[in-house]
């Protein structure tokens, strides 16, 4: 009896430890695509004003192309897509338009998290319209520059709706250019009301952004982050704002929230500069908090194993030039691999996992198939999403050639999970593959190793199989 009691206690402790691991951020994304922030608690997204020369739908597509999961909308931007020019984002949207925008965001795997800068007058009825819109759209923070006498009403609505309000600072002589004025406005309010710190506008107003952040400690809800030289936006880390020191200060404060990239320059050609901002943010974030998501390949591919020039980056997209596969130098054991790919007609490629020998990759790496199998009703073991030659996907969810697809591949011990375009298509227990050249259902495969004995740690790779293929936003998180 005592032995059984001890065993039971040990098992319970094991379960508690496992649950604790999950609570510490180890929950596996086996059924949906995760956010891929470099620093847990820091959400890097776009302020759609950066793309105000475009429609909101185009802004969402650009945000997705940058590999960012979050967007802050501003009122009045044309929706675009199939909608007339009169359709604009904001509290006046019909239910049908709200539904369409939500679908657009879902299709792009972008989350609408903030909204502003929008007016919140000292009129509860008018303010409610903005809060109800935010609630309908799943918005967490409303960014505004409200009058001082509206703060009591705004705080009440924040607590009623569970939505925060962040006071934004436009440049001097706007009413909130000085952080002291923001502190005066939020005095007596709950922590649901705070600051949207626009670091660039502080520089334009002659305010030291580092001292302003220190002054607002505990009241910063979100940021419009910028780096400035001679009054103009520049890629983060290259200007006069001491961007790294600002991030270090927010880390010291334990800040958690949204950093919106608001790049107010080169309105129709800003993507390369914005990508540099995101790269800088990711590097500093990983320096400060190194267990988040990281890029699989760096911008110059010096961390890749390949024939020289075999793969190239072009505007954030990785493509082969016709000279073989590409592999990571690091090896990965338990991890989540998140990436997007685009097919041409007839494309055949693959994502390799845990390759134990680059010389014998065929029999020491697990391949998740990438294939133009759009439209097939019953996918097989060679179709897109399959564990090649071993396990067919549960459903064919690959998009037609020319559209971007989204993979999330999770490897944990003996389990492999694959999500393709928001649908879990693979749940594979490697331990069921006990014989070489044989699948559990008795069908044959080409591999000399039983998948049970495949390496549990190895290189990640992308296959060049003779057809065009494009990859972007390749990120990995070790478990």
CATH classification of the domain holding 348: 2.60.120.560
User: Is the pLDDT at 167 greater than 70, yes or no?
Assistant: yes
For residues 448 and 371, state if they share a domain.
yes
- pLDDT value of position 18: 36
Domain of 265? 28-292
Q: Is 236 a domain residue?
A: yes
Give the whole-number percent of the chain exceeding pLDDT 70: 95
CATH number of the domain where residue 203 is located: 3.20.20.150
For residues 133 and 214, state if they share a domain.
yes
Mean pLDDT computed over 407-422? 98
Question: What is the total count of domains within the chain?
Answer: 2
For residues 272 and 322, state if they share a domain.
no
User: Is the pLDDT at 8 greater than 70, yes or no?
Assistant: no
Last residue of a domain, one of 271, 292, 313: 292
User: Is the pLDDT at 348 greater than 90, yes or no?
Assistant: yes
Band (291; pLDDT cuts 50, 70, 90): confident
For residues 271 and 367, state if they share a domain.
no
Last residue of a domain, one of 257, 292, 327: 292
For residues 310 and 431, state if they share a domain.
yes
For residues 261 and 316, state if they share a domain.
no
Last residue of a domain, one of 226, 260, 292: 292
- pLDDT value of position 284: 98
Q: Is 186 a domain residue?
A: yes
For residues 331 and 390, state if they share a domain.
yes
For residues 361 and 456, state if they share a domain.
yes
For residues 384 and 428, state if they share a domain.
yes
- pLDDT value of position 290: 84
SS (H, E, C) the chain: CHHHHHHHHHHHHHHHHHHHHHHHHHCCCCCCCCCCCCECCEEEEEEHHHHCCCCHHHHHHHHHHCCCCEEEECCCCECCCCCCCCCECCCCCCHHHHHHHHHHHHHHCCEEEEEECCCCCCCHHHHHHHHHHHHHHCCCEEEECCCHHHHHHHHHHHHHHCCEEEEECCCCCCCCCCHHHHHHHHCCCCCCEEEEEEHHHHHHCCCCHHHHHHHCCCCEEEEEECCEECCEECCCCCCCCCHHHHHHHHHHHCCCEEEEECCCCCCCCCHHHHHHHHHHHHHHHHHHCCCCCEECCCCCCCCEECCCCCEEEECCEEEECCCCCEEECCCECCEEEEEEEEECCCCEEEEEEEECCCCCHHHHCEEEEEECCCCCCCCCCCCCCCECCCECCCCCCCCCCCCEEEEEEEEECCEEEEEECCEEEEEEEHHHCCECCECCCCCECCCCCCHHHCCCCEEEEECCCCCCEEEEEEEEEEC
pLDDT digits (tens, 9 = 90+) for 301-332: 999 999 999 999 999 999 999 999 999 999 99
For residues 322 and 361, state if they share a domain.
yes
Q: Is 419 a domain residue?
A: yes
Q: Is 428 a domain residue?
A: yes
For residues 465 and 357, state if they share a domain.
yes
User: Is the pLDDT at 477 greater than 60, yes or no?
Assistant: yes
For residues 263 and 357, state if they share a domain.
no
Its pTM surpasses 0.85: yes
């Amino acid at each position: 009896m005592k032995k059984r009691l001890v065993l039971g206690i040990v098992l319970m402790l094991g379960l508690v430890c496992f649950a604790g691991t999950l609570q510490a951020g180890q929950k596996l994304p086996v059924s949906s695509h995760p956010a891929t922030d470099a620093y847990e608690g820091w959400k890097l997204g776009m302020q759609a004003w950066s793309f105000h020369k475009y429609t909101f739908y185009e802004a969402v597509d650009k945000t997705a192309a940058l590999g960012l999961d979050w967007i802050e909308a501003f009122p009045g931007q044309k929706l675009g897509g199939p909608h007339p020019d009169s359709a604009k984002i904001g509290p006046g949207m019909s239910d049908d338009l709200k539904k369409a925008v939500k679908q657009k965001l879902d299709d792009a795997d972008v989350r609408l998290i903030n909204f502003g800068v929008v007016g919140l007058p000292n009129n509860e009825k008018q303010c409610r319209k903005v809060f109800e819109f935010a609630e309908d759209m799943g918005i967490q923070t409303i960014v505004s520059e409200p009058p001082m006498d509206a703060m009591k009403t705004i705080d009440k609505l924040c607590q009623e709706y569970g939505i925060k309000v962040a006071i934004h600072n436009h440049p001097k002589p706007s009413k909130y250019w000085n952080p002291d004025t923001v502190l005066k406005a939020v005095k007596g309010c709950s922590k649901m009301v705070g600051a949207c710190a626009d670091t660039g506008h502080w520089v334009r107003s002659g305010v030291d952004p580092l001292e302003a952040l220190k002054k607002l400690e505990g009241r910063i809800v979100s940021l419009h982050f910028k780096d400035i030289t001679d009054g103009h936006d520049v890629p983060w880390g290259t200007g006069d704002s001491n961007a790294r020191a600002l991030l270090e200060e927010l880390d010291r404060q334990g800040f958690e929230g949204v950093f919106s990239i608001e790049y107010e320059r080169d309105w129709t050609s800003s993507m390369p500069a914005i990508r540099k901002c995101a790269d800088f943010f990711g590097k500093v974030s990983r320096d400060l908090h190194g267990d988040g998501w990281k890029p699989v390949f760096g911008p110059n591919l010096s961390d890749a194993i390949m024939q020289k020039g075999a793969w190239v980056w072009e505007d954030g997209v990785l493509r082969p030039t016709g000279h073989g596969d590409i592999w990571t130098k690091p090896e990965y054991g338990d991890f989540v691999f998140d990436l997007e790919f685009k097919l041409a007609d007839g494309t055949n490629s693959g994502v390799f996992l845990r390759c134990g020998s680059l010389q014998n990759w065929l029999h020491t790496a697990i391949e998740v198939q990438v294939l133009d199998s759009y439209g097939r009703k019953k996918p097989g073991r060679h179709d897109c999403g399959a564990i090649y030659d071993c396990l067919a996907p549960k459903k064919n969810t690959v998009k037609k050639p020319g559209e971007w697809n989204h993979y999330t591949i999770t490897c944990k011990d003996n389990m492999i999970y694959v999500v393709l375009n928001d649908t879990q298509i693979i749940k594979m227990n490697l331990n069921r593959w006990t014989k070489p050249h044989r699948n559990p259902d008795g069908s044959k495969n080409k591999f000399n190793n039983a998948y049970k004995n495949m390496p549990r740690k190895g290189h990640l790779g992308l296959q060049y199989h003779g057809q065009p293929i494009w990859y972007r936003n390749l990120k990995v998180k070790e478990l």
